[in-house]
Homo-oligomer: A and B are copies of this chain.
Amino acid sequence: MPKLVNIKKSVMAADEEHASFIRNIMREKGILMINMIGSPGSGKTTVLEKLLPALDLRCAVIEGDVATSKDAERIAATGTPVVQINTQGGCHLEAHLVRKALQDIPIDDIDVLFVENVGNLVCPAEFDLGESFKMAISSVPEGDDKPLKYPSLFHKARAVLLTKVDLLPFIKFDKSTFWNDVKKLNPKASKFELAALEDKGVDELVNSIKDWLNEVRGN
């Protein structure tokens, strides 16, 4: 079906233009933009709830969800500007949606923009939103086989977060398997282990975010 492929390509190309537009704005304003991707329930929102108050930087969040504004309400409770995108069934965010959401983000007054993608370990990895980089979030209860089973995201992510490590005593999970497989797919990825509800690992992530912001700003 070459016709479908062609049209798909042109749709992708149009979205690449939106991604470039976003990337240029982020560069111009010196904003670090992180595209957070992980399964439903991997802990993306909880990490943000802990990270936002701990970062002494000006942040904003774009929340992507199939339905509801539950996550955006949780972020708003931290006092951080947040915009909810409901994809109405769509399984990932696309750059044109993010570009529209940016209209309600105070881009002249922020240092870091977090985009929490739709809970999905597959599709969001394939879409460029104009972000500085993708961050993979994978939780202990999902199992240590996830990097090899869902390689695309782990291959592309600049940072990989292993969350809910407080559950390790109760779950069969081999950390060396997980991290060795991440290393095979992506030797340069920054690695973090978090138990966000217990504030474990949050400081290390805060420090790296400051380094990444300096890098974006050429400091």
Contacts and interface: CB of A to CB of B under 8 A. Distances in A.
Interface of A: 1, 3-4, 7-8, 11, 39-41, 65-68, 70-71, 89, 91, 118-123, 126, 139, 141-143, 145-146, 148-152, 164, 166-167, 170-172, 197
B3 A149 contact: no
Q: How many copies does the complex hold?
A: 2
26 contacts: A4-B8, A4-B11, A39-B39, A39-B121, A40-B143, A40-B150, A66-B150, A67-B150, A68-B145, A68-B148, A68-B149, A89-B122, A89-B126, A89-B152, A91-B120, A120-B120, A122-B123, A123-B123, A141-B141, A141-B142, A141-B164, A141-B167, A167-B170, A167-B171, A170-B170, A172-B197
A126 B120 CA distance: 15
Given A3-B7, A142-B40, A150-B66, A120 B118 contact: no
A75 to B, nearest CB: 14
A142 B89 contact: no
Contact of A119 (B39, B41, B67, B70): B39
A141 B122 CA distance: 19
B40 A121 contact: yes
A150 B1 CA distance: 31
Contacts of A149: 40, 65-68, 70-71, 119
Nearest to A142: B41
Contacts of A11: 1, 4
Contacts of A120: 91, 120-123
Nearest to A121: B40
